[in-house]
Amino acid sequence: MLFRTAVLTTFLLAFAFPAAGQTVRVTFLHVNDVYQFTPVDGGKAGGLARLLTIRNETKAANPNTIFTLGGDTLSPSVETRTYRGAQMIDAWNAVGLDYAVFGNHEFDIRTADLLSRIKESKFTWLGANVIDTKSRKIFADLPPYVIREFNGIKVGIIGLLLPETKETSSMEDSLTVTDYCAVAKRLVREMRVRKKVNAVIGLTHLFMAQDKKLAACADLDLMLGGHEHTLLQSSSNGTPIFKMTSDAREIGRFNLNFNGRTKRLESIDWEIIPVNDKIADAPEFQPVFDKYRGLLDQLAVSVGSTSVELDALSHSNRQKETNIGNFIADSYREAVKADIGFVNGGSIRADLTYSPGLLTKRAVLSILPFNNPIVKVEVTGKLLKQILEHAVARSGRGEDNEPGRFPQVSGLRFEYDTSKPAGSRITAVSVGGRPVVEESVYTIATSDFLVSRGGDGYTMFKNGKLLTEAATAPKDTDIFEAAIRNSPNGTISPVVDGRIKRLD
């Protein structure tokens, strides 16, 4: 079920009459996938200064309050290109965050920088299944879990990261992500048996299907997750699971009600609170705005305009052809003079729509924040079809239907049918208006992240012939910005023209 307004629901965990005794309430505040501390959607939604106001009010009502983040905050963003995530640490420290699980994009920045960000954090990072293969310990010597005690009630919190991190980030080879189920099963049992905790909370950055699997692996009372950028609730094995959308457009508030005498968790109440411009900024957040004011002002400079609404939403670019995806793919193809422009949908990050009007430097860098080199690679028609099969291998019903690997293309048209098995879904492919021939060769302009690192699982690109080097290749945002500036009157009007067709 998808929440669209504030909802208050009670999930009863026991049907017996509660034993006599005063209720001990522990409150969790939760957000996930927050890439910028400023408001989004034209200032109408999000903003960490507003989160601080909510936290202050919640803490005043219940001192037993814990604030959690479900991963993905240090990258990608416009500010991270300059500050390598330090701006988000400053912001979260000001807000009073308590615990954050690693998201896959925490590992976009260099390990040395990530270790610095961890040291700067006044909150605790968690990631029980993120292992340094050299020391065989949890990355950064972090704890496997934490236990908080309130009025004699012990609450354990464990953080777990998705295994696909190796293919969706720039995680170093010396780090690995181990099986989240096996790790959780062992550690949750340890908390319950040896540490005598009264409840265990799973703080996760996983796909929902993985969250559901985890709930069957380990005895968790509540799971607070992230990763999909979609407001979701579900339940598996009797465990409620929640995820917010991105950039703090709402915050979840969860009250865990314990019997003070038996210490038994008797019920959970929850509320999804929209974070909007009706909520005042907490004044104590102002120093963060002041510290980064110079960069924020620079990003407000205009680079052109659009005459149409641009669809830079994550869920759009990860599952269908979009007008901004077409424009970016066109710009790549033209910049390196290739037959095909190819963009993995997960690299389009703004998660916004842009109304007709001015496009600022922030808009350009928010849409493509990774600063990836765009290289030219030669592939056979046979390899091209393998690339496209991989692109739609997770796009069917019941699969991860918003995969970052889903493509936006130029110079190429294809049709696919997800009712067919993965690996045989492409039904038609043409380049330059002509059907692809397996023995022929074609050139592709795409991110070096896909070609040299096999990002988003595109390992087959290594079977192509690299024609340009990443070190001297133009960067994605420079290409994108130049394409806007060089459009007639500096105005773009991209359209969806049927390059990608889903048949089922």
CB 471 within 8 A of CB 397: no
CB 495 within 8 A of CB 323: yes
What is 271-330 written as a DSSP string? Answer: EEEE-BTTSPPPGGGHHHHHHTHHHHHHTT-EEEEESS-EEE-HHHHTTS--HHHHHHHH
Q: How far apart are CA 104 and CA 258, in angstroms?
A: 34
| Residue 501 phi, psi (nearest 5) | -125, 125
* Tens of pLDDT, residue by residue, the chain (504 residues): 333 333 334 433 433 333 446 999 999 999 999 999 999 998 999 999 999 999 999 999 999 999 999 999 999 999 999 999 999 999 999 999 999 999 999 999 999 999 999 999 999 999 999 999 999 999 999 999 999 999 999 999 999 999 999 988 999 999 999 999 999 999 999 999 999 999 999 999 999 999 999 999 999 999 999 999 999 999 999 999 999 999 999 999 999 999 999 999 999 999 999 999 999 999 999 999 999 999 888 889 999 999 999 999 999 999 999 999 999 999 999 999 999 999 999 999 888 899 999 999 999 999 999 999 999 999 999 999 999 999 999 998 877 766 889 999 999 999 999 999 999 999 999 999 999 999 999 999 999 999 999 999 999 999 999 999 999 999 999 999 999 999 999 999 999 999 999 999
Query: In whole angstroms, how far apart are CA 450 and each of 74, 75, 391?
Result: 21, 18, 12
| Axis-axis angle for helices 86-95, 111-120 (nearest 10) | 20
The two structure tokens encoding residue 170: 């720039």
3-class secondary structure per residue, 190-256: HHHHCCCCCEEEEEEECCHHHHHHHHHHCCCCEEEECCCCCCEEEEECCEEEEECCCCCCEEEEEEE
Q: Which residues have a Cβ under 8 Å from the Cβ of 484 and sit 6 or more positions away?
A: 303, 304, 359, 364, 490, 492
pLDDT of residue 401: 63
Domain 26-291 has CATH 3.60.21.10: yes
Nearest in space to 291 (alpha carbons), one of 87, 82, 94: 87
Q: How far apart are CA 97 and CA 88, in angstroms?
A: 11
pLDDT of residue 397: 80
Strand order in the sheet with 232-236: 146-150, 153-161, 199-205, 222-225, 239-243, 232-236
Q: Tell me the residue type at 380.
A: T
CB 39 within 8 A of CB 68: no
> How far does CA 29 lie from the centroid of its chain?
19
Nearest in space to 186 (alpha carbons), one of 163, 158, 218, 161: 218
Any idea how long the chain is? Answer: 504
Ranges of each domain in the chain: 26-291, 299-502
pTM: 0.84
What topology is assigned to 299-502 in CATH? 5'-nucleotidase;  domain 2 (3.90.780)
Burial class (CB in 10 A: 0-12, 13-18, 19+), 320: middle
pLDDT of residue 212: 97
Q: Which helix (H) or strand (E) holds 478?
A: helix 476-485
The two structure tokens encoding residue 361: 């430097």
Largest interatomic CA distance in the chain: 78
pLDDT of residue 402: 67
Q: How far apart are CA 187 and CA 178, in angstroms?
A: 13
